[in-house]
Amino acid sequence: MSNTIFAFGLGIGAQNKEGNWLEVFYPTPSVNVEKSTLDAILESTNYEGGNCTLALDESDLNRLHMSLLKAGNIEQAELASRLKASTKPVILCVLASDEAPTSPAEVYLKLQLISHRLVTPHNTVLDGMFGLLINTAWTSEGPIDVRELADRQLSARMEGRTIEVFSVDKFPKMLNFIVPTGIRVGDAARVRLGAHLAEGTTVMHEGFVNFNAGTLGNSMVEGRISAGVVVGNGSDLGGGCSTMGTLSGGGNIVIAVGEKCLIGANAGIGIGLGDRCIVESGLYITAGSKVAVLDENNQVVSTVKARDLSGQSDLLFRRNSASGAIECKTNKTAIELNEALHAHN
């Protein structure tokens, strides 16, 4: 067995009536776990190696607490001790290696690694995750298997209560699990668990950030960051703009936005942008869009498919008001972000 493991987490789970996991909350997951912590897990639990999820009882947690203390991992030791008071199932998820998840507990650990900023988007394997998650009603009384919702609603009404349903989805809100430092979010429902919001990010009320996607630095997000899309430091997404993700027609192509870019209001991209690029408001560029490339005198020097410009820096995309053609020229305008707009103090 290797001296280190990819990740592990102590968590509190919620199950449906059949005992299937609906969610697992990991308060302080860890990555690149040192040998001393791995040894503590091996000697105090039934973990025998590999990628594994174990249910822990009070005696397990007592042993784990003492072993982690000896290993010098005070944070995880204190968590193990605190979880002894949980009335909900406590589980230990250990990922010896970064492979495709095989259970909801593993999916939830990986999504929370991303949202805790321990792993950046596209740097953990999530293949097959959708088939492992149960369609869930996220309610004022916690997660409920959607097949069990009607019965729970009736029981609540008979007791004089109303269960408020916030959404029916395989993913919960990120902020119900993690609130990273140095961010602002106008509407928590528009950021899914597994989003990566870097320090200095603002997601306005109409902004949206999907899982395995997000920002790597200061950004003002008033548009949509679709699944798989990563936005570089200093880039802004204008109101109503769109990025074509891996779940919205982009296939397996990663749509990335470089640093200090601006995608205007109601614009959209189906290609990657390098650094310091601008897309004019209202202009949607798909990979197959024909683009007229202009020289410094605004003369057409070539016509290409937009995919041929994907990832290149210092480009300005606009639409010719007379002909309607999409044009591209070198962007000589320095984009300076409004510091007050991005202030998080």
Annotated binding site: 206, 224, 239, 242, 265, 280-281, 288, 305, 318-321
Binding residues for succinyl-CoA: 224, 239, 242, 265, 280-281, 288, 305, 318-321
CB 65 within 8 A of CB 57: no
Under 8 Å between Cβ of 335 and 276: yes
DSSP states of 270-319? SS-B-SS-EE-TT-EE-TT-EEEEE-TTS-EEEEEEGGGGTT-SSEEEEE
Q: Are strands 224-225 and 208-209 parallel, antiparallel or unpaired?
A: parallel
Sequence ranges of the binding site for Mg(2+): 206
**Interstrand relation of 142-145 and 136-139 (parallel, antiparallel or unpaired):** antiparallel
Q: Are the C-beta atoms of 257 and 283 separated by less than 8 Å?
A: no
The DSSP bridge pattern shows strands 5-15 and 30-33 to be: antiparallel
| Catalytic residue list contains 23 | no
Q: How many other CB atoms are there within 10 angstroms of residue 28's CB atom?
A: 13
Specify the length of the chain in residues: 345
- Give CA separation, 169 vs 111, 127, 138, 177, 332, in Å: 15, 18, 8, 16, 44
Per the CB < 8 A criterion, the answer to whether 268 and 287 are in contact is: no
Q: Which of 23, 106, 222, 259 is catalytic?
A: 222
**Ramachandran region of residue 230, left (φ > 0), alpha (ψ -120 to 50) or beta?**
beta
Q: What's the rounded Cα separation, in Å, for the pair 21 and 140?
A: 18
Instruction: Name 13's bridge partners.
Output: 24
- Burial of residue 109, with CB atoms counted within 10 A of its CB: 0-12 exposed, 13-18 middle, 19 or more buried: buried
**Which residue intervals of the chain are DSSP H helices?**
35-44, 58-71, 74-82, 104-115, 149-158
The CA R_g of the chain, rounded to the nearest whole Å, is: 23
Active-site residue list: 222
